[in-house]
Structure 1
Amino acid sequence: MNDINLLFRKRIGLNSNEPIKIKNISLILELTASAIPFENLCTLSGSLDELNEDSLADKILHRNEGGLCYDLNGILYLFLKENDLDVQLIRGSVYVPELKGFSPTGRTHAAIIMNDGGMRYLIDTGFGGNLPLRPVPLDGSEIMTPTGEFRVKKALSEFGDYFLEMKLKNKDTDWRTGYAFDSRDPVDNVSDLSEMKKIITEHPQSPFNKKPLLTRVNANGSMVLTETSFTRWKDGQVAKEEIDATQFKQLAKEHYNLDVK
């Protein structure tokens, strides 16, 4: 049996005695985003292994890989639940500006809702370079975070009853939609996210089953690695360099601790 609590703490560099409360969720989100990359290498391999506690622990806590939203929020959900927090997994649909609409893959974004002291919060460590790094209240409050401004708007859509909206630091001048999500239909078990994984792996319009994408976010900025470029945002400055296949493998190892075959 996997000790998700201790293994997750070790992976993100969190003290084994640190209590997990709403007041330090922001710290956990920062450490998680910095330590565990958002990446699609497993998706590119075509793996359709079922998502469950053992498979997530093996992938992220034993093999030290990253993953997509269902992997990252799946393992975070298990960790928070093991620490007796009132959390639920939820499904959402990502808004795609280039399409001027929501993803053709449907409700294939996984996130977490946490209940604490009569308040509800959206928690997400699997939204690529768009992470709030903070719990976002569902009451509509606008919050300022190291990565920008975020808020949750209550509004009905075909994908749920709320929208996450954001203004990313040094990138957005106006509020824009991140994704719609449904708080009324929680996911009962991480294994139920396997269907989401199958769609992302096989759907012809999935953005993650064609080319490698590796992302890491911290309080000072983010870095995005593709097979042709490496882009870094730090303290409002952006630096982009074109790379080749050899450099891609080197950078994946150096900055994401991932071995690319």
Structure 2
Amino acid sequence: MSEPRLINRALYLQRLGFDAPPAPTLETLRTLQLRHTGAFPFENITTLLGEPVLIDLPSIEQKVLHDGRGGYCYELNHLFLALLQDLGFDARGMSGRVVMGHPEGAWTARTHRLSLVTLDGVRYITDVGFGGMVPTAPLLLDNQAEQLTPHEPYRIEQHEDGYTLRAKVAGEWKAMYIFDLQRQEDIDYAVGNWYVSTHPESSFTKQLMVARTGDGWRRTLNNSSFAIHRIGSESERRQVAGVDELIEVLESEFGIRVPVQEALKRVLERVMEPA
């Protein structure tokens, strides 16, 4: 049974600044990826509420395009891949192992979704769902040199088991995730999403994580710690005081239409408590 096509392509493209479907070129891919990370925030409110994260395409479209929400990799990169394929790109899904924040050489579970795009025989990875360090441009797969983006530089190292994506953060090349080109099916994403959204050891069930990009900046929110990271200058950080202010930050700084309910307020109170 084939994957359903996008229902709301015109609305999706309008949110990304296109009045008509653009041609499937590298310049289009660059523009789409940059604008996507600015238009649709990374966020995990649903997992904190203990609600199921639906990753079928109609459910994602409803949540992101109509309900004023964002999502994480299994939602945002699924939606983005559907758009790319609908526009005529040669693109397919892949998966990776997030190692950011782990010791060098760590080997974690497959819990990240990204995509591979081939243009005129040249392969790129594209990713709009990697939180506060999401690449804001497609990256050449078969090139181990430093690659510039509108934000940080990245590089892709090839090794026996696949590839490692690294970002240059504060002068250091830090590993973001490991990935390979193994074929993935819906069930693979369902398993990864189930783990991320339900396992008691998953960080997605224990802490609030929100991110969005803009012209020369990244905004991040981890529990009650809000930061604006400006390219080439010091980050601005502050602690959010109280649930009402936290909801205001989610709405004003990240553009999220917060589903205000007593259950969510209780969850936000919990994540704001000192560890």
TM-score, normalization: structure 1?
0.89
Percent identity between matched residues is: 25
Assess if the C-alpha contact under 8 Å between 1:252 and 1:260 holds in 2: no
Q: Where does 1:14-163 land on structure 2 (aligned, <5 Å)?
A: 14-102=18-106, 104=108, 106-140=109-143, 141-157=145-161, 161-163=162-164
**Distance in 1, Cα, partners of 2:227 & 2:53:** 31
**Equivalent residues of 2:25, 2:119 under 8 A apart:** no
Q: Counterpart in 1 of 2:202? A: 206
Is contact 2:77–2:115 with CA below 8 Å preserved after alignment? yes
Q: Secondary structure at the match of 1:3?
A: coil
SS at match of 2:245: helix
**In structure 1, distance between residues paired with 2:54 and 2:220:** 27
Q: CA deviation at 1:174?
A: 2.4
Q: Distance in 1 between matches of 2:111 and 2:69?
A: 21
Of 229, 254, 267, the residue aligned with 1:233 is 229
Q: Are 2:21 and 2:87, in contact at CA under 8 Å, matched by a contact in 1?
A: no
| 1:175 alignment partner in structure 2 | 173
What are the superposed Cα offsets for residues 47-106 of structure 1, whole Å, 9 maximum, x if unpaired?
2254212111111112121111111111000000111111110010011334445465x0
When structure 1 is superposed on structure 2, of 223-232 and 95-104 the one drifting more is 95-104
SS in 1 for 2:110: coil
Moved more, 134-143 or 64-73: 134-143
Gaps of 5+ in 2: 261-275
2:183: which partner in 1?
186
1:257 aligned residue: 255
Q: Which of the two has greater strand per residue?
A: 1
- TM-score by length of structure 2 reads 0.85
Q: How many angstroms does 1:15 deviate by? A: 2.8
Checking the alignment, whether the CA contact within 8 Å between 1:131 and 1:147 is kept in structure 2 is: no
Residue among 229, 239, 243 paired with 2:240: 243
In 1, are the aligned partners of 2:46 and 2:52 still within 8 Å (CA)? no
Q: Which runs of 5+ in 1 are unaligned?
A: none
Deviation of the 1:39 alpha carbon: 0.4
Calculate the aligned-residue CA RMSD, in Å.
2.0
CA distance in 1, matches of 2:120, 2:8: 25
